[in-house]
Structure 1
Amino acid sequence: MNWYVVYTKPKWEKKVAEKLNEIDIECYCPLITQIKQWSDRKKKIEVPLFNSYVFVKLTDLDRNSVFQVAGVVRYLFWLGKPAIVRNEEILTIKQSLSNNNISNISVVPYKKGDKVKLETGVFSSQNAIVQEVTNTYCIVVLESLGCILKIKYT
């Protein structure tokens, strides 16, 4: 069985995870506690770590069963196939969130000027600077090689 990423309607992550558990589909919606400020009070609330994402563990044949749940939009795809998350990555997220020393976590996309280290592919272990990010591609500058990469998302 593999872990897949289900894309949900905005703000439906916890509801979708609850309904998936009710129909016996193993799922994981990582939650973090944040303090929200209203005009008259502060309150601790649990919010999803990844907006609009819920991880589900099931066989390839059972993948369509998640669409029985209201709020499920589609699977997240990577290179034309449903994205598979390794079990070790799910365990790492769980262990990181169980650490009580963490006070604030946020997931932010790359933005212009960020320095990154490429981890896979022909240019693995190369340092790069993000020059542009759109919904369909990312452009990074590899100064040490004197070239610019345009990475298209599929």
Structure 2
Amino acid sequence: MFNAQPLAWYAVYTRAKCEKKVADLFTRKKVEHYYPVKQLIRARKMVESPLFPSYVFVRIPESRTWVVRETENVVNFVYWLEQPAIIPDHEISLIKHFLRNYEDVSVERFPINAGSDRTDSSRGKIIQLASNRVKVELSSLGCMLVAKVPSREIAVISGSITVNGHHY
């Protein structure tokens, strides 16, 4: 009998404007993946745009990285300290939550230093909470998700922040 390796989320860098093609290939190869898109209105028409241009996330055991590397239009894994960067489950869940619950979501980058601590709690770390914006840190990706939120949906509950019914 073999030991099953744990599944982990990895960020995969794709060729420009090939995220959807890569996601379709992963579907055919039965590779669990997540391709986060946001809805935009262009020329009076609703279109999907990648939230993270040139990125698709895959959830695989380390032993199956070759399947991803052999996929057409995949450039490589995103690396951190000479190893494929692992994205914590809670950060993928946070991305899904933001896209599901907020209409206007964007990404802002911030620099990651080699000596910085990339571990995080199981909740998103709120960076800024203004009257109509909430920023949540995704430390493993070196960015923040930013969403516009009506102020009536924000409340402080005993030291925690609640936005739209979800605690951070």
- If the length of structure 2 is used for normalisation, what is the TM-score? 0.60
User: How far did residue 104 of structure 1 move?
Assistant: 2.0
The answer to whether residue 89 in structure 2 is matched with residue 87 in structure 1 is: yes
Aligned-partner Cα distance in 1 for 2:72–2:89 = 26
Within a 5 Å distance, the mapping from 1:43-122 to structure 2 comes to: 43-99=45-101, 102-110=102-110, 120-121=116-117
The answer to whether residue 28 in structure 2 is matched with residue 26 in structure 1 is: no
SS at match of 1:92: helix
What value does the CA root-mean-square deviation take over the aligned residues?
A: 1.6
- In the alignment, what sits opposite 1:117? none
- Whichever of the two has the greater Rg, that structure is 1
> 2:70 is matched by which residue type in structure 1?
Q
Choose the corresponding residue for 1:8, options 10, 14, 20: 14
Aligned-partner Cα distance in 1 for 2:72–2:104 = 30
Q: Deviations over 1:85-124 (max 9, x none)?
A: 001111111111111xx2322223349xxxxxxxx54xxx
Aligned-partner Cα distance in 1 for 2:52–2:30 = 22
> 1:27 is matched by which residue type in structure 2?
H
Q: Give the fraction of aligned pairs with identical amino acids, expressed as a percent.
A: 38
Q: Tell me how many residue pairs correspond in the alignment.
A: 107
- In the alignment, what sits opposite 1:130? none
- If the length of structure 1 is used for normalisation, what is the TM-score? 0.65
Aligned-partner Cα distance in 1 for 2:92–2:105 = 16
Residues 99 and 105, structure 2, Cα contact 8 Å, conserved in 1: no
Q: Which runs of 5+ in 1 are unaligned?
A: 112-119, 122-154
> 2:106 is matched by which residue type in structure 1?
S
Q: Deviations over 1:23-66 (max 9, x none)?
A: 010000101100113xxxx2110111000000000011101111
Aligned-partner Cα distance in 2 for 1:25–1:110 = 30
